[in-house]
Amino acid sequence: MPRPRSDEKRSAILEAATRIIVTQGLSAPTAGIAKEAGVPNGSLFTYFETKNELLNQLYLELKGEMVAAALKNVPARTEPRERFFRVWQNWTNWAITYPEKRHVLAQLSVSGEITAHSRAVGHAMMADLAELADRSRANGPMRKAPLGFVLAIMNSVAEATMDYMTQDTSNAKNRCKEGFDALWRMVE
CATH number at residue 148: 1.10.357.10
pTM above 0.85, yes or no: yes
Domain count, the chain: 2
Residue pLDDT tens, the chain, 188 long: 455 578 899 999 999 999 999 999 999 999 999 999 999 988 899 999 999 999 999 999 999 999 999 999 998 888 889 999 999 999 999 999 999 999 999 999 999 999 999 999 999 999 988 888 888 888 889 999 999 999 999 999 999 999 999 999 999 999 999 999 999 999 88
pLDDT score of 106:
95
The reply to whether 97 and 126 lie within a common domain is: yes
The reply to whether 145 and 112 lie within a common domain is: yes
Cβ atoms 135, 77 nearer than 8 A: no
**Alpha carbon distance 20, 92 (integer Å):** 23
* Residue 57, Cβ density class (10 Å: 0-12 exposed, 13-18 middle, ≥19 buried): middle
* Exposure letters 98-124 (e unless 16+ CB within 10 A, then b): beebbebbebbeeeebbeeebeeebee
The reply to whether 65 and 126 lie within a common domain is: yes
The reply to whether 102 and 156 lie within a common domain is: yes
The reply to whether 81 and 125 lie within a common domain is: yes
The reply to whether 97 and 182 lie within a common domain is: yes
The residue out of 10, 29, 49 marking a domain boundary is 49
Domain range enclosing 28? 1-49
- 54 in any annotated domain: no
pLDDT score of 1:
42
- 37 in any annotated domain: yes
pLDDT score of 4:
59
Please, what is the angle between helix 147-167 and helix 80-97, to 10°? 50
The reply to whether 39 and 102 lie within a common domain is: no
The reply to whether 91 and 148 lie within a common domain is: yes
The reply to whether 43 and 67 lie within a common domain is: no
- Residue 43, CA distances (Å) to 12, 26, 37, 51 in order: 12, 20, 10, 12
